[in-house]
Every structure is written in C-alpha cells, then in structure tokens.
C-alpha cells in the first residue's frame, strides 16, 4: 500500500504528515497544527541541525562516490543500529519459482548483542556508542575502514 508523500505540514513544529494522519488538525495561534507530531503545540523540539556537508553531498548525488553510498545506505544504517530483528525465518516457503517471500514463524523480536566487544575484537553495533566513549568517533570510522563495501567507494 502506498500512502504517497507526506504533504501536510504542521505550522507549529514543521512536522510532515500523510493526509490520513492529518484528519484532526486544529488552529492554535492562527496556525493549523496536529496532535500526532507536537500535541497541538504542547511539545517543542529543537530545530534539526544541518548534516555535515560531506554527508549531504553523498546523499544528494553531489559526490563521485554517491552512487555506491546510496546503493549501500541500508547496510551502513544497519551497521550503527542498537538492535537487529530476530525471529524464526520460515525458509521452506521459497521452493521453486516465484517472487521471494519473507515469512516469520512465531514472534518477531529485537536482538541485542553484548555491550562489550569480545577480547581482541573491535567494537560494533551498539558497542560503538557505549564502549570506549572517548574514542567513539575513531571506533565508528574504523568500522568503515574495515568494511570492504566502503573501501570500494
């Protein structure tokens, strides 16, 4: 199902909503706002910071390595996640021809590894944020250096 783009904007917090989310807007200080984003103006969040130019250029196809970056963006995003999806994957369904089907049996859950890396191992996933906080930026950069996908950029 495609709900289209988020075309409705809250005039108080600048939150973007889909048309079906914006059914119950109301006027506050002569501005249409919504409960789902800012609670009709009760919650005030700081403005989003602009990303570093290096990232913006990769994301907006203004960098020679943008194509490879965008092709692998899900991989990079997953690399820095705190948890991963878990469950018992039913592999018996993909026998023969036809489109791939992803089916879980039982309950879907989040799986989280240790907050400390194994002895002699470099930090990964949530360890990049928790272990050795003085060197967290260097740890994250090292993950990219050790990743073949990133080395090909």
Q: Say how far apart CA 20 and CA 127 lie, in whole Å.
A: 39
> Are residues 71 and 63 in contact, defined by beta-carbon separation less than 8 angstroms?
no
Q: CA-to-CA distance for 55 and 63, rounded, in angstroms?
A: 9
* The token pair that represents 53 in the structure block: 């130019």
pLDDT at 122: 77
Average of pLDDT values for 87-101?
A: 83
Q: What does the pLDDT read at residue 140? A: 66
| Alpha carbons 60 and 55: distance in angstroms, whole number | 8
Look at residue 87 and tell me whether its pLDDT is greater than 70.
yes
DSSP 134: G
Q: What is the pLDDT of residues 20-72, one digit of tens each?
A: 888 788 888 888 888 888 888 898 878 878 888 988 898 888 999 999 888 88
Residue-wise pLDDT for 95-133, tens only, equals 878 888 888 888 887 777 787 888 888 777 777 776 666
Rounded Cα–Cα distance for residues 48 and 16 (Å):
13
Cα-based distances in Å from 125 to 10, 63, 76, 85, 134: 34, 27, 11, 13, 17
**Does 146 score more than 70 pLDDT?**
no
């Amino acid at each position: 199902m495609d709900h289209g783009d988020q075309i409705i904007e809250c005039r108080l917090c600048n939150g973007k909503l889909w048309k079906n989310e914006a059914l119950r807007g109301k006027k506050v200080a002569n501005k249409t706002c919504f409960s789902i984003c800012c609670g009709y103006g009760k919650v005030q969040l700081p403005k989003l910071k602009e990303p570093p130019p290096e990232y913006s250029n990769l994301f907006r196809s203004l960098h020679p390595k943008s194509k490879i970056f965008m092709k692998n963006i899900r991989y990079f995003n997953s690399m820095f996640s705190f948890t991963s999806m878990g469950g018992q994957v039913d592999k018996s369904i993909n026998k023969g021809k036809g489109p791939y089907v992803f089916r879980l049996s039982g309950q879907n859950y989040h799986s989280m590894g240790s907050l400390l890396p194994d002895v002699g191992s470099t930090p990964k996933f949530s360890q990049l944020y928790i272990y050795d906080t003085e060197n967290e930026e260097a740890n994250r950069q090292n993950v990219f250096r050790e990743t073949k996908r990133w080395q090909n950029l």
